[in-house]
Amino acid sequence: FAPSPQSNNISGEQNDSNLPTGRGWMSEHLVQYQGFWLSPKGLKNLMWLQDHFNPRPTDIFLASLPKTGTTWLKALVFATVNRTRHGFSDHPLLTTNPHDCCPFLDAYLHENDPSFLDQNGSPTPRLLSTHVPYALLPDSMTVNRSCRFVYIYRDPKDVLVSKWHFLSNLRPKELPPFPLEEAFELFCQGISHYGPYWDHVLGFWKASLEFPEKILFLKYEDLKEEPFVGVKRLGEFLGYPFSLQEERDGVVEDIVKLCCFENLRNLEVNRTSVHKFSRDSMCMVDNRHFFRKGIVGDWKNCLTAEMIKRLDGITSHKLIASGLLF
Ligand code: A3P
């Protein structure tokens, strides 16, 4: 496929050969593209997105870094936006993994028929998710600013720990174990999928300050503490505010309960089925791996005092001028 104006003459299959490479977290390396670290496949998907994706003004994008709460956000947004379509006793989320309710835009579309989203009768608004940093999104998604984004972020210490556990679970048995110390070092250097973590968060944060009506910025820890407030904010921001009657009828509570960690994790579909990131892809993940502990602060059980100090130091240094709090 042809390079886009944003793609710096990078084209098609051989496109990563001139880019800086960094050690990957699995068997493949990561490549650095315009300041962000992507897998070679992630880069290919990004090129596709930049060159071919046509957003609709009504699209809702769920943006995040991996392991910041994407699965939960997908469930909450799907349940909020579609609450008049589905009853809570036979809700699709009871039998479908949240990743199958809101597909990953870049990975899914690139490997499948690009017209998928128009052909499958997907209702308006389309709920699509992406890990792509704000700066690398195509102009069609950002400059016109017709689409809405919901961004979720999380304490980077929990993101690191969650990611390390997740990838350790997916690691092929023939590979040696991947020590947490190595994961920590790479994460601190920014070498992790769609990282550096802090730059990704800052990109969306700055955009949300500039266009607050288009980008909602949510924090995993706040959602855990006050899920009702979070769901009501989601409803309002997305143009689906909860009426007084709905509040009286406990609809917000129903959504919170449906999407809570314990409920989703214990569903048959999330205990035993497999998520395919794309139809032909070999990349399959047991749904259960998307639900590990679902708590705030598990880093206390895994990171040393020295690691905590260093990560917190990077976070304050990177974010000091931004006004963003962790
Ligand atoms: P832990 O590994 O800390 O448990 P992502 O969805 O972006 O991959 O993030 C995964 C993290 O979100 C995991 O964190 C997972 O357990 C947690 N998670 C998944 N579903 C959740 C839910 N419904 N509520 C809260 N946390 C959830």
The tens digit of pLDDT for each residue in 67-96 reads 999 999 999 999 999 999 999 999 999 999
d(CA 163, CA 247) in angstroms, rounded, equals 36
d(CA 107, CA 81) in angstroms, rounded, equals 23
d(CA 55, CA 125) in angstroms, rounded, equals 11
d(CA 259, CA 102) in angstroms, rounded, equals 14
Predicted confidence (pLDDT) at residue 182 exceeds the cutoff of 80:
yes
Tell me the two tokens of residue 210: 């500039």
| Ligand 1 atom closest to the CA of 162, numbered from 1 | 2
Ligand 1 pocket test: pick from 129, 153, 161, 162 the residue with the most ligand atoms within 8 Å of its Cβ.
162
Least confident of 10-19, 123-132, 200-209: 10-19
d(CA 266, CA 92) in angstroms, rounded, equals 15
Quick one: pLDDT at residue 116?
56
Neighbour count for residue 307 (Cβ, 10 Å)? 19
Average pLDDT of span 130-144: 92
User: Burial of 34 by CB count in 10 Å (0-12 exposed, 13-18 middle, 19+ buried)?
Assistant: middle
Quick one: pLDDT at residue 53?
86
CATH number of 32-156+196-292: 3.40.50.300, 3.90.920.10, 3.65.10.10, 3.40.50.360? 3.40.50.300
264 lines ligand 1 (CB under 6 A): yes
Task: Point out which residues pair with 31 in neighbouring strands.
Answer: 21, 38
Predicted confidence (pLDDT) at residue 10 exceeds the cutoff of 60:
no
Band of the pLDDT at 9, cuts 50, 70, 90? very low
291 lines ligand 1 (CB under 6 A): yes
d(CA 284, CA 286) in angstroms, rounded, equals 7
ipTM for the whole predicted complex goes beyond 0.90? yes
More confident residue, 86 or 114: 86
67 lines ligand 1 (CB under 6 A): yes
Residue boundaries of the structural domains of the chain = 32-156+196-292
Quick one: pLDDT at residue 320?
84
259 lines ligand 1 (CB under 6 A): yes
**C-beta contacts of 182-187 below 8 A and 24+ residues apart:** 182/23, 183/25, 184/160, 184/303, 184/307, 184/311, 186/22, 186/23, 186/25, 187/156, 187/160, 187/163, 187/311
261 lines ligand 1 (CB under 6 A): yes
Band of the pLDDT at 98, cuts 50, 70, 90? very high
Quick one: pLDDT at residue 198?
97
pLDDT tens digits, one per residue of 247-287: 999 999 999 999 999 999 999 999 998 877 665 556 788 99
First-to-last alpha carbon distance for the chain, in angstroms, is 40
158 lines ligand 1 (CB under 6 A): yes
Task: Report which residue type is found at 116.
Answer: F
Selected catalytic residue, list 131, 165, 200, 275:
131
48 lines ligand 1 (CB under 6 A): no
Task: Judge whether 275 and 285 are in contact, CB under 8 Å.
Answer: yes
Quick one: pLDDT at residue 108?
65
d(CA 3, CA 288) in angstroms, rounded, equals 38
Predicted confidence (pLDDT) at residue 321 exceeds the cutoff of 90:
no
Average pLDDT of span 214-238: 98
State in Å: Cα 59 to ligand 1 middle: 24
Which residues have C-beta within 8 Å of that of residue 184, sequence separation ≥ 6?
A: 160, 303, 307, 311
Quick one: pLDDT at residue 4?
32
Quick one: pLDDT at residue 123?
72
Band of the pLDDT at 6, cuts 50, 70, 90? very low
Q: Give the residue among 126, 127, 128, 81 at the shortest CA–CA distance from 104.
A: 128
222: DSSP letter: H
State in Å: Cα 134 to ligand 1 middle: 22
Does residue 131 have an active-site annotation?
A: yes
Predicted confidence (pLDDT) at residue 122 exceeds the cutoff of 70:
no
d(CA 280, CA 261) in angstroms, rounded, equals 29
State in Å: Cα 165 to ligand 1 middle: 12
Residue closest via CA to ligand 1's atom 17 equals 294
Quick one: pLDDT at residue 17?
75
Residue closest via CA to ligand 1's atom 14 equals 294
Tell me the two tokens of residue 22: 């960094």
Quick one: pLDDT at residue 69?
98
Q: Give the residue among 162, 223, 244 at the shortest CA–CA distance from 197.
A: 162
H-only helix segments in the chain: 40-52, 70-81, 98-101, 105-111, 116-119, 139-142, 156-170, 180-188, 197-210, 220-225, 227-237, 244-248, 251-259, 261-266, 268-272, 305-319
Tell me the two tokens of residue 66: 């991996």
